[in-house]
Chains A and B, each alone.
Chain A
Amino acid sequence: MTLADLAHPRQDYSYGFLDAFARRELRRRILKAIAIPGYQVPYASRELPIARGWGTGGLQATLSVVGPQDVVKVIDQGADDSVNAANLRRFIARMTGVETTTDTTKATIIQSRHRIPEERMDKGQLLVLQVPDPEPLRHVQPDSSQAREMHADADYAQMWLSLYEQLVRFGRFMQGASYPVIVNGRYLMSPSPIPRWDTPALHQSAHLTILSAGREKRLYAVPPFTDVRPIEFSDVFFQVEDQAGRVCTLTGAGQKYMDELPQPGGESRFRISDTGYVEKLLKMAQGEPTKIGPTYYDDAGQFWMPGVIKVGA
C-alpha cells in the first residue's frame, strides 16, 4: 500500500465548483427565501467561470442544491439547444457528473432563462430561474436602498400608478415579460423575465421555484402552493400574450408560447419555444412511445387552473 492509494484522487475543484462555505451560505439564504415568499434575500454571490449576467445567479442556486441523484435540464428561451443553455448544462455536468435531460417530466432540477416549460412541473421538482434584475420597483425607484424601504412598508403605490398611467396612455398594460406579481399577498416580485404566458404557472404550483440574480446578489423563492397574483385592477385584468392563430411549423400544434420567425416578404412563421416539448410531439407523431405530461395550457388556450387568468372587461 502506498500513500497515493490512501489519498483522495486529485480534484482541482470542489463538487459543484462552489466551496463548502459558499454552498452553506447559499442554502441558508435559500431557506430564508422560502420562509419569506417573494422577499429578496441578499447573498454574497461568488464569481463563477461564466460571465456575470449570463446565469451565474441561477447557476449558484443549482450548484448549491444539486446532488448525485439529480437529473438536470437547462433551457434558455425555452430551448435546450441554445449555446448558452448548452454551456451551462455542460458546466453543471462537468462539475457534478449529474445526469442531464431535455425532458421536463424527468428532470429534478430545471434551470431556465426566460421560460417555464409548457408541461406542468410537479411535486418534488425544482425550477431555478435566472434573474437579471430582481427589483420589480427598479423603474419607479432606481435606488435600491429606497426600494428596500418601500418593500418593507409594502408601499407599492408607485407601481399601481404606473399601471394606471399605462392604461391611460396606451389603453392597456404595457409590461411585457417579467410582469410584476404579489407573492403570498405580501411582497411585490419580479418573476425573472418570463413572458406573461408563464406567469400564471407560478400560482399555487406544486413545485418550488428559486429565482436568483448573481450580479445583483439577491435570491428569492416561491414555495409550493403559494399565491402568486399579477398586479391588475378589479375591472382591467392581466393578460397573457396572444398565441391565437399561431401554428407551430414543426409540429402543427397551437396555443403554446411561440417564437416568431420573420420571413422574407414580410410574413412570419412560428415555432413552439419549448424545444423539449417539441421533441416529444415529434416523437409521438412518428409513432414512438412518448409520455407527454399535462400542459399548463390546453389546445384551446385555456389555462389548466380555472380563475387564475381572468376574462372579461
Chain B
Amino acid sequence: MAYVAARGGEQAIAAAEELHTTLNGPLSAMLVRSIERHLPYLVDRVMGEGSLYAPDLAALALAQTGGDLYEAVLLLRAYRSTQPRIAYALPVRQSELRTVRRISAAFKDIPGGQILGPSLDYSHRLLRLDVLEGQEAGSGRQEAGSGRQEAESGRQEAGSGRQEAGGKEAGRRTQEEAGWLPSSELEVTDSSPRVLVQSPAASSLPSAACPLPPVSCLLPPPTLPAVADWQRENGLLAQLPERDPCDPSALPDVTREPISFPAPRAHRLQSLARADTGGVLALGYASMRGYGMSHPTVNELRLGYAEVTLRHPVTGIAFSAGRVRVSQAEIVDTGAGAPGDTPLRLGFTATIGWNEVKTIAGAMLDLEMSAPNPHPAHQEEFVLYHTEPVESSGFCIHYKLPHYVTFGSALDNLRKAAKTGETP
C-alpha cells in the first residue's frame, strides 16, 4: 500500500512541476539572455541576495522560477554551495571603484563631484502607455513631453558630470586607460554607434544611457576619492586602523562558519550584503521613521564596477579576473555620540549588483546595531537572523507542510485541559 502511495507522492511532485512549467512557458537560452540584458536591476538583486556574481545564472534562475524572487535566490545559493572556493580576491578600496553614480547628501559638492549617473530618481513615474501601442521607448529622448525625457536629461547631467571628472583626471589617463576596455568588450549595435559594453555586466548600461560623444564612451568610469576620507582628514570620523586589511583568506566567512553574536564585523557586513532587500528595508525604515537614530545622513552612495584582482598562484603577480557591479552606501550619524567620540559615526553596507535601497537601509542598520542600546528590532542578532532571505522565506513556506502530528499532540493537551476545566 505505502509503496504504491509513495510512488503516488512522487508522481504528484512530477505533475505539479510540469503544470508550473506549462503555465510559465518554455525555458530557452534566448529568454535567459533577454532577462540578463533587459532586467539588470532584477538580476542584480538576485545576485546580491544569492551572494553569487553570475548574471547569466541569476537570469536563468529567474527564468526557471517564473520570476519568483525567493525561489530564484535559493536556486543561486544552492548552486553556490556546490562551488569550491578556489581563490580570494584582493581587497577593493572605495577610491578604486570605477564609479558611474556617486552622490553625497552631506555636502553640496565633494572632491570628484556629484555624479547622478543612471537613475530614475528624478523621472516622472508615468507609465509609458504609448509603448503598448507600439512606440519604441528607447527613443524617448527625441520624444517631447514624455516622462522618459526627464530621465534622459538626468542621464545627460550624469554624463556631463562624468565628463567633467574625466577631464580633471585626463592627465593621468594614458596608456593604461586606453587598455581598460578591450575591443572585444565593445559592442556595436544599430541604435547607437558605440556603447559602453562590458561583459558580462554590460547589459546594465542600456544604449541610451550613453549620451556622451563616442570617444568619451571609451573611457572607463572615473575613480573618485571617498567622502569619508576627507572627513577623516578633518577629524570628523574615526581614523582607519594603520595596517592593511589582513589576508583575505583569513577573514571570517559567514558561508563557511556559523554566525554567533556579537558577530565579527566581517560576518555582519557579509550578512548585510546577502540580506533580503525587503527585510533590510523594513527594519531600516523602522529606524528611519522613528525607532532609531535622530539624524542619519547619506554620506555617500555609489554604484560602480569593482575590479576582481587575484594573485597568480605561482608567480604571485596580481591580475584582473574581471569586473563586477557593486553598490555601497555610507550613512553618518550626526546625533551626539558619547563624550570623547569623533563627531560622526559611520554605517556601511555594500553588496554585489546595484541595489540602492538595500545599501542605504543596511548602512543605517549597521549604525543602529553598533549603538549602545538599540531598539530590540535593531539588535545585531535580530537584524541579521531575520533578514536572511533564504532562511526566512524557506521557514515561512514550510508552514505549508503537514503538521498533523504536532497539531494532534497539541489537541491532546487542549482537550484534556478543557475537560479538567469542566469537572473541577
Contact = CB atoms under 8 A, between A and B. Distances in A.
B74 A177 contact: no
Interface string B252-292: 00011111111000000000000000000000000000000
A80 B80 contact: no
A102 B6 contact: yes
B106 interface: no
A144 B405 contact: no
B381 A144 contact: yes
A171 B417 contact: yes
A48 B78 contact: yes
Contacts of A218: 258
Contact of B10 (A79, A90, A174, A242): A90
B315 interface: no
Contact of A102 (B3, B390, B411): B3
Interface residues of B, number: 54
B84 A77 contact: no
A45 interface: yes
A258 B407 CA distance: 12
A78 B408 CA distance: 13
A172 B420 contact: yes
Interface string A34-75: 000000001111111111111010000000000000000000
Contacts of A17: 82
Interface residues of A, number: 74
For the residues of B in contact with A, the DSSP-based class is helix
B78 A49 contact: yes
B397 interface: yes
Given A47-B77, A53-B395, A86-B6, A273 B405 contact: yes
Contacts of B3: 102, 279
A282 B381 CA distance: 51
B5 interface: yes
B5 A81 contact: yes
Contacts of B403: 77, 114
B9 A51 contact: no
Given A143-B381, A279-B2, A83 B9 contact: yes
4 A-B pairs with least C-beta separation: A52-B394, A86-B9, A81-B5, A53-B398
Interface of A: 13-14, 17-19, 21-22, 42-54, 56, 76-87, 89-90, 102, 113-115, 132, 143-145, 148, 170-178, 193-197, 215, 217-218, 241-242, 250, 257-260, 273, 275-276, 278-279, 282
Given A46-B81, A85-B6, A148-B260, 6 more contacts: A42-B257, A53-B394, A144-B385, A215-B395, A278-B1, A279-B3
